Amino acid sequence: MLNQGKPLKAAVQEAINACEGAFSIVIATGDTLIAARDRHGLRPFCMGRSKTGALVVASETCALDIVGATYERDIEPGEILIATLDDYYAGLEAEGVGRTESIFLDGPRKEHLCVFELVYFARPDSIIHGQSVYNYRMNLGRRLAQISPPVEADIVIPVPDSGNVAAVGYSRESGIPYVEGLIKNRYVGRTFISPTHELREKGIQLKLNPLKDVLAGKRVIVVDDSIVRGNTSRNLVKMLKDCGVKELHLRISSAKVTHPCFYGIDMSEQKELIANQMENTEKIREFLGVDSLTYLSVQDMADVAGYEAPCTACFSGDYPAGKPVDFVPLSLTQASV
Ligand code: SF4
């Protein structure tokens, strides 16, 4: 579109209007910064100000903290935020902060922020809808304790790091002491998005090491954020049992992952998802080899999220932005900026 002679703003608007799915885009030219969020608001995207009044944009608010910027607001679904150098200087002189301009995509715009961000992806020190992700995870853990069948247990341990806060919430709600039972190797990344089965298998051994003296002979509640294929959880259970854990009760601070994500998370094919392969929780419990297993429901997650219409598609199969097969194919000419 730029090569058809359109000005930058119009070209970007037209190109982004033609895009489907989940995205947060930043375009920087010599004198202009443009930030755009998809019309469904699937991924978090926020704006703030540097100490000099300049626009700063980031996926999560914790990134603003790191550079000393102040959070101002979330970028709206379908919003294209534009800051030019001329507007920066003009705004600075008149109002003390750089000016920005917002234009919006055509058609419907409604936020369906990914609920998995609250469970797993976002950092706990980020703020979403006025609450820290830490607080959301604490409440997911509390809810999990409320709905789980009561069991006599000695300790609650998290699967670090993404299970940490939910385990604290579970412990506070149930009154069962929270302790650390697994130590994480900080130099290994997320295992569920490792490309091969072998790498994922090795990943759990490299990633987590159990504290044998804490765990041996104990009845343990283990809190994890999710189960995707089930192999990681199964290996973890074996590792804990090899340490002499007497009873192992697995608690999951999300619902069953039953569908793939088409909105940017490389999760798995549907046939690989354990909750898709096995007909009920009891079968999954048997496969994992645990004494009891409880998941949250999709409704529990939505209730704790507390904001309207979160995306829960990988747990419910209800895709708020459609599936790739629904998307209208674009001609490359239309889409090229
Ligand atoms: S499908 Fe799942 S991971 Fe993907 S955006 Fe929706 S809730 Fe998030």
User: Residue 290: which H helix or E strand, with range?
Assistant: none
β-bridge mates for residue 157, sequence order: 222
Confidence (pLDDT) at 335: 40
**Looking at residue 187, what is its pLDDT?**
75
In the chain, where are the structural domains located?
2-112+323-335, 132-307
What pLDDT is attached to residue 197? 64
Residue 118: CB within 6 Å of ligand 1?
Answer: no
Q: Specify whether domain 2-112+323-335 bears CATH 3.30.420.280.
A: no
Beta strand 131-132 pairing with 127-128 = antiparallel
Q: Does residue 298 have its Cβ closer than 6 Å to ligand 1?
A: no
Distance 75 CA to ligand 1 centre (A): 19
Instruction: Indicate the pairing of strand 247-252 with strand 292-295.
Output: parallel
Predicted local distance difference test score (pLDDT) of residue 190:
59
Per-residue pLDDT of the chain (337 residues; tens, 9 = 90+): 667 788 888 899 999 999 888 999 999 999 999 999 999 999 999 999 999 999 999 999 999 999 999 999 999 999 999 999 999 999 999 999 999 999 999 999 999 999 999 999 999 999 999 899 999 999 999 999 999 999 999 999 999 998 999 999 999 999 999 999 999 987 766 555 566 666 666 667 778 999 999 999 999 999 999 999 998 899 999 999 999 999 999 999 999 999 999 998 887 788 999 999 998 999 999 999 999 999 999 999 999 999 889 999 999 999 999 988 766 544 443 443 3
Type of residue found at 183: I
Tell me the H-state helices in 75-196.
Answer: 85-95, 115-116, 133-147, 164-174
pLDDT score of 336: 37
Cα(6) to centroid of ligand 1, in Å? 35
Closest by CA position to 256, among listed 288, 223, 301: 301
Q: What is the pLDDT of residue 248?
A: 98
Alpha-carbon distance of 161 to 158, in angstroms, equals 8
- pLDDT given for residue 331 in this prediction: 43
Q: Which residue from 261, 269, 315 has its CB within 8 A of the most atoms of ligand 1, so it is best to mutate?
A: 261
| The pLDDT of residue 203 | 65
CATH 3.40.50.2020 fits 132-307, yes or no: yes
Task: Say if ligand 1 is within 6 A of residue 302 CB.
Answer: no
- Show Cβ contacts of residue 141 under 8 Å, excluding neighbours closer than 6 positions: 165, 166, 167, 168, 169, 170, 171, 172, 173, 223, 253
